[in-house]
């Protein structure tokens, strides 16, 4: 299966299951993105590659992760990764604080 078709399938999935809880028709979806319906149809059917500007527009208008749209994989945001690192550092810090408290309490 070509990458264009895979992206098109994800675009169709997004269009049909948008967060508004309603299914957009191709013409409505195209209007929201400022393109013609035929372009959406060609992309969804893998007959046309989606350009970067359109991907960015889709991401902004429909609050969708571009990494998922392009690859189909979930992508953790940089903020989530930073939170994970901070939580690990906080855990180590708590360990050392507890050790210091136990040493202080022994004396």
pLDDT, tens only, 58-103: 988 888 888 888 888 776 666 677 788 888 888 888 888 898 988 8
Report the SS3 class of residue 26. Answer: helix
Domain coverage including residue 100: 76-107
Do 62 and 89 belong to one domain? no
Give yes or no: residues 81 and 67 share one domain.
Answer: no
pLDDT of amino acid 48? 93
Q: Let me know if 85 is exposed, middle or buried by CB neighbors in 10 A (0-12, 13-18, 19+).
A: exposed
Tell whether 25 and 67 lie within a shared domain: yes
- Residues 82 and 90: beta-carbon distance below 8 Å: no
Q: The tokens of 93 are what?
A: 């810090």
If asked whether residues 59 and 84 sit together in one domain, one would say no
pLDDT for position 19:
54
User: The domain that contains 36 carries what CATH number?
Assistant: 1.10.260.40
Please indicate, yes or no, whether residues 65 and 23 belong to a single structural domain of this protein.
yes
Whether 25 and 12 share a structural domain: yes
């Amino acid at each position: 299966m070509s990458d264009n078709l895979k992206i098109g399938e994800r675009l169709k999935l997004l269009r049909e299951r948008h967060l508004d809880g309603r299914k957009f028709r191709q013409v409505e979806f195209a209007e929201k993105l400022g393109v013609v319906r035929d372009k959406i149809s060609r992309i969804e059917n893998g007959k046309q590659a989606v350009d970067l500007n359109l991907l960015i527009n889709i991401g902004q208008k429909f609050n969708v992760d571009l990494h998922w749209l392009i690859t189909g994989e979930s992508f953790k945001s940089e903020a989530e990764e930073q939170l994970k690192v901070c939580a690990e550092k906080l855990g180590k810090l708590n360990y050392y604080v507890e050790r210091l408290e136990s040493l202080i309490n022994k004396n």
